[in-house]
């Protein structure tokens, strides 16, 4: 596998992890959204990855296969003064778990950083290879 292929593989990971970070940010931003375009509370979304083989070459990249909407039940919170409260005073809230979202954000951020480091190491190796013949 050529060193240039490492950049191609790394760039697929950067794009995928960036989308994962954006999805997580959307989940966190909408953790209190009680009404979406469909009139229902926001549903948490998760990114699903799949491998992407490169033609006639070893190594595989990654891409987002799907963004899946969670089927977990909505949280019910007691907020009797809220305009969306039912007769018992409960409001359907999004099924976003802020703790899980923070873990997803940290994981995606670390994966992104590791791929940047891998690409930087590849760049250094390429420069050192070019300098071998100079001495």
pLDDT digits (tens, 9 = 90+) for 52-74: 988 777 788 999 999 999 999 99
Strands 75-78 and 90-93 come out as antiparallel
Q: How far apart are CA 101 and CA 32, in angstroms?
A: 14
3 state SS of 100: helix
3 state SS of 60: strand
Whether 134 is in a domain gets the answer no
Whether 67 is in a domain gets the answer yes
Q: Which two structure tokens, joined as six digits, stand for 25?
A: 């940010």
Q: What is the pTM of this model?
A: 0.85
Whether 112 is in a domain gets the answer yes
Whether 29 is in a domain gets the answer yes
- pLDDT, tens only, 70-97: 999 999 999 999 999 999 999 999 999 9
Whether 110 is in a domain gets the answer yes
Quickly state the pLDDT bin for 135 (edges 50, 70, 90).
Answer: low
Domain hosting 122: range is 3-128
Whether 73 is in a domain gets the answer yes
């Amino acid at each position: 596998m050529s060193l240039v292929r490492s950049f191609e593989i790394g760039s697929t990971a950067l794009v995928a992890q960036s989308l994962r970070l954006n999805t997580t940010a959307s989940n966190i931003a909408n953790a209190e959204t009680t009404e979406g375009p469909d009139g229902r509370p926001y549903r948490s979304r998760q990114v699903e990855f799949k491998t992407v083989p490169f033609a006639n070459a070893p190594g595989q990249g990654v891409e987002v296969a799907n963004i899946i909407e969670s089927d977990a039940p909505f949280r019910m919170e007691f907020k009797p003064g809220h305009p969306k409260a039912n007769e018992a005073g409960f409001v359907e809230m999004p099924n976003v778990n802020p703790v899980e979202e923070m873990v997803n954000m940290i994981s995606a951020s670390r994966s992104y950083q590791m791929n940047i480091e891998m690409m930087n190491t590849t760049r250094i190796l390429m420069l050192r290879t070019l300098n071998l013949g100079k001495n």
